[in-house]
Structure 1
Amino acid sequence: MEKCYMCDRQATSREHVPPKCLFPEGKDMDGENHRSNLITVPSCDLHNTAKSRDDEFLMVSLAGIIGNNSIGYRHKFGKVNKAIRRSANKLLLATFKGKQRFYVVEVGPNKFVDVIWGTPDSERLKVCFEHIVHGLHFHHFGHTFKGRIKLHFAYLWSDNKNATSFRDLIKAKLDVELAGRDKFGENQGVFYYQITDRDQFDLYMFRLCFYGGINVHAAMIPEHADVQKDLAWMLVEGGIKTIFNVGDKKFEFN
């Protein structure tokens, strides 16, 4: 019998990775079907049916973000808004921590959209994306990942200078390392992923891309990896001005 993609329990079903609800159906997209050949992995009950609310949370969190492609926006104003209305806005408010601010933005002549600005529930997002990365790893390599995953949400804005520099640095490094590499996924307007080569410490990264503009980076640290402390990052953590170079780009910290 198959084992679960996340643990050593026996699999009882198959789980979609990423969740199926992120992929619009033809009936909601004027006949465009984005649910063909979705990735599935074997799952136990704990890691599939028990997290259905997290799947819906992730759908609401991602579909309406400014910068998405037209598929994301159409999904937001179709199925996602229906789900939000059914929950009396509870689904939408659950995506944020603390207070939110509401704006009306003009996107064209006499065309306006409502925009909500707030702090996302990053801990819950972390759980959602960890499940996705574990699933993709199982699908791609054929075995469960054992180790730590460090996530970076490249699409989130921060007013911290170091956080912004780190976001831009990681993006620049991945742009170089993944240039010309395969993009995996049958419905790439909704989702695709890429994987870097392993470095000398057996570390590697996944880049996940949703709706053409939402990037999530996952650093894979296998349990057997002997990770050395990097002097440059020790300087950054110590508050010392440090500059990293990627090609002709410079990224300053502190």
Structure 2
Amino acid sequence: MNANSKIKSEDRCYWCGKQAVGYDHVPPQNLFPKGHRNELITVTACKEHNQELSKIDERMRINLIMLSHKSNAARKLFNEKILKGIQRKESKGLGIDIANNIFEKPEGGGYIRVNSKHLHIYFEKIIRGLYFNIYRKHFQGSTHHFWNGFNDLSLSANTHFYYFEIEKKYSENWINGKCKNKEVFDYKYYYCNIEKQFFVIMDFYETHKVIGISIPEGRDIEDYGLDIEKHLNIKLQ
């Protein structure tokens, strides 16, 4: 899909299916420093699911980059864009907010407190965008994600276990995405006809693995939980 081509009347939003008004990058273009923007993925989008999510895109970029200090691409973007940006007078509040949400661990390293609502919207945008880019249609239902750096405490341990086993379960079925900037973003995907679910495993800055899933209408994420004890007992027999 060419971001420079004109929007047509039949073009639909990747998220909701409404009339599209422009193009959006999946994942957001602001994750990619100069020299790492070869053939970025774009999808058609309505205003609500593009321009109105820009603030979340920017905040999540900062979070991802600050947690990716071992990545050369992330470090380059931090020095070129983020550091200069938060040093501006008009961005003083953002700089203070970021500093207040960074916590150091006694043993070294640290972590960042992230707005869970923004986190969910951010990854939902990417999951839906990738699905649309692959299948040229948007899906009904909801999404969820599992990130190796964050745990959703509202979900059962069985659900966490089930989805972190997904990569092994479908080891022979994954299809590699055609990414040209793997040092920034890469992914592989699989659509399970039995469960009617889209699975995608995303890699950001060669540091963060995020599992994205779609959940069909009328189903709940806990419907797919796998009992850990039963699973281990079967393996031991």
Normalising by structure 1, we get a TM-score of: 0.72
1:244 aligns with: 231
User: Which structure is richer in relative contact order (CA contacts within 8 A, separation 6 or more)?
Assistant: 2
**Letter matched to residue 71 of structure 2:** N
The equivalent position to 2:166 in structure 1, one of 173, 188, 197, is: 173
Give 2:205's aligned residue.
211
Map 1:13-52 onto structure 2 (within 5 A). 13-25=22-34, 33-52=35-54
Per-residue deviation, residues 135-183 of structure 1 (Å, max 9, x unmatched) = 11111110011112121122226899x76x9767644531452467423
Task: State the partner residue of 2:58.
Answer: 56
Pairwise CA RMSD: 3.6
Instruction: Determine the structure 2 residue equivalent to 1:74.
Output: 76
Q: 1:101 to 1:185 in 2, by over 3 A?
A: same
Whether the 8 Å contact between 1:6 and 1:135 is mirrored in structure 2 is yes
Partner Cα distance (2:70, 2:141) in 1: 32
1:118, CA displacement in angstroms? 3.8
Structure 1 residues 91 and 193 mapped into 2: Cα distance closer, same or farther (>3 Å)?
farther
Alpha-carbon distance change, 130 to 230 in structure 1, aligned in 2, over 3 angstroms: closer
Q: Does the CA contact (< 8 Å) of 1:208 and 1:215 recur in 2?
A: yes
CA gap 1:172/1:12 in 2 versus in 1, 3 angstroms: same
- In structure 1, stretches of 5+ residues that fail to align are 26-32, 107-114, 237-241, 250-254
The 1:231–1:51 alpha-carbon spacing in structure 2 relative to 1, beyond 3 Å, is closer
Extract unaligned runs of 5+ from structure 2: 1-8
1:197 Cα shift?
Answer: 4.0
Deviation at 1:69, TM superposition (A): 2.3
Name the SS for the 1:52 alignment partner: helix
SS of the residue corresponding to residue 88 of structure 1 reads helix
Q: Distance in 1 between matches of 2:93 and 2:114?
A: 16
Q: Shift of residue 124 of structure 1?
A: 0.8
- Following superposition, the deviation at residue 248 of structure 1 comes to 7.8
Q: Which residues in structure 2 correspond to 1:96-135 (within 5 Å)? A: 100-102=102-104, 117-135=111-129
Task: State TM-score, norm by structure 2.
Answer: 0.77
Structure whose residues are more often helix by fraction: 2
Between the aligned partners of 1:45 and 1:194, the Cα distance in structure 2 is 28
Q: Does 176-185 or 58-67 show the bigger shift?
A: 176-185
CA contact (8 A) 1:207 1:217 kept: yes
